[in-house]
Amino acid sequence: MYEDQTFERILRRILGRAPSDVDIRQAAIIYDAVAPASMEIESLYFALDIILQETFADTNTRPYLIRRCAERGIIPDPAFKAVLKGKFNIQVPIGSRFSLDDLNYTVISYIEQEVPPTGNYVYQVECETPGIIGNSKYGTLIPIQYINGLTYAQITDLLIPGEDEQSTESLRQEYFDSFNMVAYGGNIADYKKKVLDIPGLGAVKVTPVWQGGGTVRLTILDAEYNKASNTLIETVQTLIDPTQDAKGLGIAPIGHIVTVETAADVAVNISLHIDLESGFEWEQVKTPIEDVIKDYLLELRKTWAPNDKPVSDDLIVRVAKIEAAILNISGIVDVYNTEINGTAGNLNIGTYDIPVFGSVNRV
């Protein structure tokens, strides 16, 4: 706004107010008197520009956005640690620590013992480093302290995804969303806000009165927008409505009976015709094709339950989107006659379903 208030303009404006018989050339007395002040005034305008930017939520930087959000009772979500499934050939002490590559893990709770022939003991294992870095590593665990009799220790599954600290733009969007939907007393917005504050969650659909008055169905996805694990479902159920008897012993209001579920996967299988550039083979482009389809389906799942709407539309997997993404891959000249799950046309996904990658084949 004040970018035109430069030193030269300010100085010229001040000197223009001097009497006509006064020498205003450089090195003249009046010039030397007002030049330093003009430079300071330029700095003040620069500071005013910054203040103006930091005043409004659509332009301010993170520190001032956090202060603005605090006025609406919104605080940025901190980073959370991933919880994974660990399997061991013996019972291990709670609190035992292990390492995998450059990450360390702590055993936090016992789950069950597998049936023979494995008979392994299954535990919840928490990554000691917060964030999404703990979501993707699986394999052999190395005990940090010796455990007698331990011959097998593996991380096999992700139970509750870790999350990075909430990004600035996500926080900014949450601030603006707070004006569009008022969370109050167990309405849909209230359920969405409280459920999404639980670590490991990425999306939730709220279905009120789904089995009569007072019943609420929460359908959740994890922080990576995949089906929630049983552990995550149980965690949310315990926090929201542990007894399911309308007594209000959890977050849910008195009189509400809440059932927590997750979405069902719908495998997306793609058949297509492609023309390749000279020198390229199908095996060279198959993995990039799989990657762009997976990325497209992930973006779809992120819109499965938008936080700024009480009700979301059903998802549609579109042939045109898939073909457009594939055409950007090096070595592909054309793609046509694409089918999804054996049908030429778009695939409609049910309200409580999510699209996941199945396969891709060249016809």
- Residue ending a domain, among 262, 289, 315, is 262
Same domain for 138 and 193, yes or no, is no
Number of residues assigned to the chain: 363
Question: Region 141-146: what's the mean pLDDT?
Answer: 95
Q: Which domain holds residue 338?
A: 266-362
Over pLDDT 70: what percentage of the chain? Answer: 98
Encoded tokens for 353: 């379903």
Name the token pair of 200: 């490991």
Instruction: Count CB atoms within 10 A of the CB of residue 218.
Output: 24
- Do residues 297 and 253 make contact, with C-beta atoms less than 8 angstroms apart? no
State the pLDDT at residue 138: 94
**Is residue 266 within 8 Å of 350, Cβ to Cβ?**
yes
Q: CA-to-CA distance for 302 and 224, rounded, in angstroms?
A: 9
26 & 51 share domain: yes
The mean pLDDT of the chain is 91
State the average pLDDT over residues 110-125: 93
pLDDT at 300 (0 to 100) = 95
pLDDT at 167: 94
The answer to the question of residue 32 being in a domain is yes
Residue 71 lies in a domain: no
Q: How confident is the model at residue 310 (pLDDT cuts 50, 70, 90)?
A: low
Give the Cα separation of 83 and 74 in Å (integer).
26
Report if residue 177 sits inside a domain.
no
pTM: 0.80
Q: What is the pLDDT of residues 222-249, one digit of tens each?
A: 999 999 999 999 999 999 999 999 888 9
106 with 30, same domain?
no
Q: How many domains does the chain have?
A: 4
If one counts every other C-beta atom within 10 angstroms of the C-beta of residue 26, the result is 8
Are 193 and 243 found together in one domain? yes
- Kindly report which listed range (35-49, 52-66, 317-331, 341-355) carries the lowest average pLDDT score: 35-49
Of the residues 128, 160, 192, which one is the last residue of a structural domain? 160
Asked, for residue 13, whether it belongs to a domain, the answer is yes
- Backbone angles phi and psi of 153, in degrees to 5: -150, 115
Q: Which residues pair with 85 in a beta bridge?
A: 124, 157
Residues 252, 286 within the same domain: no
Q: Are residue 272 and residue 257 in the same domain, yes or no?
A: no
Continuous segment of H or E residues that includes residue 266: strand 264-276
Q: What is the pLDDT of residues 126-138, one digit of tens each?
A: 999 999 999 989 9
- What pLDDT shows up at residue 309? 62
Is residue 350 domain-resident?
yes
Give CA–CA dist 120/97, Å, rounded. Answer: 18
